[in-house]
Each structure stands twice: as structure tokens, then as C-alpha cells.
Amino acid sequence: MHDFIFKNNELHCEAVKVSDVAEQIGTPFYLYSHHSLVDHFTKIKKAFAPVDPIICFAMKANGNMAVVKTLLNEGAGLDIVSKGELEKALTLGADPKKIVFASVGKTAEEISQAIRAGILFLNVESVPELEEINRISQKLNQKARVALRINPDVEAPTHSFIKTGTLEKKFGIDLRSARRLFKSRSRFPFVTINGLHIHIGSQITESQPFIRAMKKVIEFLQALRKDNIRLEYLDMGGGMGIIYKDEKPQTAQEFANRILPYLEQTQLKIVMEPGRFIVGNAGIFVTKVLYIKDNGFKKFVIVDGGMNDLIRPSLYHAYHEIVPVKKTKSPSMKADIVGPVCESGDFFAKDRRIPRVKKDDLLAVMSAGAYGYVMASNYNMRPRVPEVLVKGDRFEVVKERETFADLIRGERIPEFLK
Ligand code: LLP
């Protein structure tokens, strides 16, 4: 469920007409619904209430401060992946005790900032990283809390680029090494290893892969118990899929019903890291038709948004529904919906059947709240677009459109060229 709905043939976000926003701020832009954000977060919270998890929103999915603040106000923690996200989280007043930090390549600076901030734990992805954390903790004279990210070697049906749970992938520590690591944990006296972390991939619409991973976790915990090792936390990662097209993803409640028995069996405190489930369908990307082009072979709808604004179709061939913001009775047509960027990979849809549109019509690219703006770039010297948050009948620009000054900030002509 989300709050982008047609009323009187006009797409609304909650009580705001999408076309009104376009009129005021121009196109393209991202538009988020406050109510959808809260609703999706609450669905997870309610469904998993029996284990009372710490729900750490994966900031990488959407790091807009107003979006993150909305979720912090609901009691969310945060899953971060960089110093930038840590600084943003702390600026927003997030409780460090509800921040977890994963990344296969944390720098010394990131590690020491995270330790000093007193976050809940760092999710460690390799033995050398653990050695580095131990060294830094000793230097800071402050014990670091860590969870080991294990790689359960479980296949998940999703795009190869966003699968993470098999040994082909760079993520996590294989089970055998992880067990050895626990046994030799006295080698890391400045680190408290008090949790396990898994994350098997993203946009996973069924519970089976999660269950297979949980079974491996439980087996692993049993082995640890034999070694007399007890932990406090299980961070089960993110990955819950959403509807982009015709997927039939489990609801949060269905997912919880399947997975809760396993979580309960661990007797550990549960941390979750949902990203897409919360923001994916809480946001759209709005773009305007510039030209319609027919080369005798096919039709192209050329819009003012491009792959630099929303790269998911280009990068993963991801499907996003695209709808005209004003419903008309016009017959449909088949076209590629493409941006102005100078490469053929710049498309939002290929051979898509959509209602016939004309110059200046607005199109909404749906389900764009997750991994949309955060993956945008300035390719082709294009400014990043604004982000807008709607609450009820109000809307506010929560990130301004970039200007030319933003685009050239930091660039310099060296003396020897003058
Ligand atoms: N935890 C960890 C350790 C992760 O790496 C991720 C996502 C999440 C949680 C959140 O996963 P989610 O609940 O959002 O599935 N750019 C891609 C997705 C990359 C996912 C990266 N990791 C896309 O547009 O589909």
C-alpha cells in the first residue's frame, strides 16, 4: 500500500496534486509520502513485535534528512555504510545505540569515528578488518562492539548485482573461518564480539532464502554454544522485496509469521535493516515529456529526467511502472521512454505500452523512493533534482535542485594553465 493514488483522474501524493508540485518547482523531482514511510515502518514494527527488534533503517536506500528524520521520529535505528552516513545520522540526533555499520571496506577513519560515537556494533566482514578494529580500539582505549557478518552461502532469487549471500560475493565471512575466528577471539582483546550479522541480498520477495539462511545461523549458533560462546545480537539484515510490477511479495506479517519461529529460537536480540520495504513505494520520480520521436522503426518518448537521476533501469534493467500524472482516455502506444543523456543505456523503459502522451505531459516513474536519488550523479553536468516530502495537504522541498555553482564547486584551473 502507498499513498500515490488517482483522484479525479489526477495523480495525488496523499492530498497533494503531483501536478501542483511540478508547477511550483519544475521538473524533474522526487516526491515522497510521509504517511507511506510511517505506514511501511509501522507494518514491520507490528509484524515483528513478538521479538521487539531494533529496526535500523538502511540509510543507503534513501538518505534524505527529512526521510530519515521521519523514521527516527517513529523510533527507528539506522544501518549505515560510511562516515558520511554516520555524520548525517548523528547530525539528525540518531541514538548511537541504535546504529549498526556494515561495509566490506571500512577505512581506519570510519572505524575510529564509529567507535568514538559509541554505535551499537560494527558488522565485520573479514579477519583483516577485525584486526584493524582491534588495533584502533587499543589506540583509542575504547572497546569496540562488533558483530561478525557471516556469509551463509545461500542463493537468493534476485538480480546478480544485489545478491550478497553466496561465496562468489565479496560479503561476509564464510562459516568455517567465522567459527575459527570465534575460537581465537582472545587474539582480539580490545573487541567485544557479541553478535552475528547476515544480509543475503535485496529485493527478495519470498521467505525461503531467508529461512535457509536462518537455518544456517541456528546451526552456527549451536556450534558456537558447543565452543562455549554466547552472543547477544542477531542482525538479520534487510532485503524484503516490494512490488514494482507484478511481484507478489509476502507482506511484512506473512514474512514475520514464517521467520519469527527461527528468530525466537536464537534467543538473541534481533536487529533488522530494512531499506527498500520502507522507502521504495513511498516515493516516485516525476519527469516531463520533452519530445516524441518516431524513427519509422520505433517510438521514443524523450523526457527531461535521465539515467543520472534514476539509474535502476539502466543498471539492473529494473522495471518501474510509468504512468501519466493526468489520466486521459487516449489510446495506448508502445515506446521507449528515454532521457536526454548521451548514451543508449539512458532509458526508463523499453517497448513499454503507455497511454499516448504529448509534449509537456508529466510522467510518474513509480516505486522510485529506494535507491533513486541516492544513486544519482551529475553525469552530463546535470544538476541533481529536488526532493519533496508530502504530509497530508502540505509539501516541502527537502533537498533543493542543484545549481551551476554546486556543479563546479571545488573545481579549479591550476596556475600552469592560466
Ligand atoms: N543491510 C545491508 C548490509 C545491505 O547491504 C543492504 C542493501 C540493506 C541492509 C538494505 O537492503 P534492502 O532492505 O533495501 O533490500 N541499489 C540496489 C540495491 C542495493 C542494496 C544494497 N544493500 C537497487 O537499486 O536495487
Residue pLDDT, tens place only, 128-166:
999 999 999 999 999 999 999 998 888 777 777 777 778
Query: Is a pLDDT exceeding 70 seen at residue 34?
Result: yes
Residue nearest to atom 16 of ligand 1 (CA): 371
More confident: 328 or 51: 51
Q: Is the CB of 276 under 6 A from ligand 1?
A: yes
101 CA from centroid of ligand 1 (Å): 13
Kindly list the structural domains of the chain, giving each domain's residue range(s) and its CATH number in brackets, ordered by start.
Answer: 4-31+280-408 (2.40.37.10), 34-279 (3.20.20.10)
- Tens digits of per-residue pLDDT, 2-21? 899 999 999 999 999 999 99
Arithmetic mean of pLDDT, 202-213 = 92
User: What average pLDDT does the segment 296-316 reach?
Assistant: 97
- C-beta 147 within 6 A of ligand 1: no
Residue 75 CA to ligand 1 center (angstroms) comes to: 21
Helix, strand or coil for residue 212? helix
DSSP for 33-85, written as a single string: EHHHHHHHHHHHHHHTGGG--EEEEEGGG---HHHHHHHHHTT-EEEE-SHHH
Closest ligand 1 atom, CA of 273?
A: 9
CA pair distance 201, 23, nearest whole angstrom: 39
State yes or no: is 13 an active-site residue: no
From the CB of 40, is ligand 1 less than 6 Å away? no
Which distant-in-sequence residues (6+ apart) come within 8 Å of 157 by Cβ? 204, 205, 206, 209
Residue 313 Cβ inside 6 Å of ligand 1? The answer reads no
Residue 414 has pLDDT above 80, yes or no: yes
Ligand 1 pocket residue status of 371, Cβ below 6 Å: yes
Catalytic one of 342, 381, 413, 417: 342
Cβ atoms of 273 and 79 within 8 Å: the answer is yes
- pLDDT of 153 reads 82
**Mean pLDDT score of the chain, rounded to an integer?**
95
**∠ at Cα 77 (76, 78), nearest 5°?**
120
Ligand 1 centroid distance, CA of 29 (Å): 23
Share of the chain above pLDDT 90, in %: 90
Query: Is the shortest distance between the CB of 202 and ligand 1 below 6 Å?
Result: yes
**What residue's CA is closest to ligand 1, atom 19?**
162
C-alpha of residue 40 to centroid of ligand 1, in Å? 16
Query: What gap in Å lies between CA 239 and CA 200, rounded to an integer?
Result: 7
Taking the centre of ligand 1 as the mean of its atom positions, its distance from the CA of residue 99, in whole angstroms, is: 16
- Report phi then psi at 350, rounded to 5: -115, 140
d(CA 91, CA 88): 5
Buried (b) or exposed (e) across 237-252, using 16+ Cβ within 10 A? Answer: bbbbbbbbeeeebbeb
Q: Is the CB of 255 under 6 A from ligand 1?
A: no
For ligand 1, pick from 158, 163, 276 the residue to mutate: most ligand atoms within 8 Å of CB: 276
CA of 202 to the centre of ligand 1 (A): 5
pLDDT at 48 over 90: yes
Among 202, 240, 279, say which to mutate for ligand 1: greatest number of ligand atoms within 8 Å of CB.
202
Return the percentage of the chain with pLDDT > 70, whole number: 100
Instruction: Answer whether 225's CB lies under 8 Å from 183's CB.
Output: no
This prediction has a pTM of: 0.96
- Tens of pLDDT, residues 183-206: 999 999 999 999 999 998 899 998
Ligand 1 mean position, distance from CA 140 (Å): 31
Q: Is the CB of 273 under 6 A from ligand 1?
A: yes
**Which residue lies with its CA nearest to atom 5 of ligand 1?**
199
Could you tell me if the CB of 198 is within 6 A of ligand 1? no
Q: What is the pLDDT of residues 355-384, one digit of tens each?
A: 999 999 999 999 999 999 999 999 999 999
pLDDT for 244-302, tens place per residue?
998 888 899 999 999 999 999 999 999 999 999 999 999 999 999 999 999 999 999 99
Q: Is 310 in the pocket of ligand 1 (CB under 6 A)?
A: no
Q: Is a pLDDT exceeding 70 seen at residue 1?
A: no
Q: Give me the pLDDT at residue 164, please.
A: 77
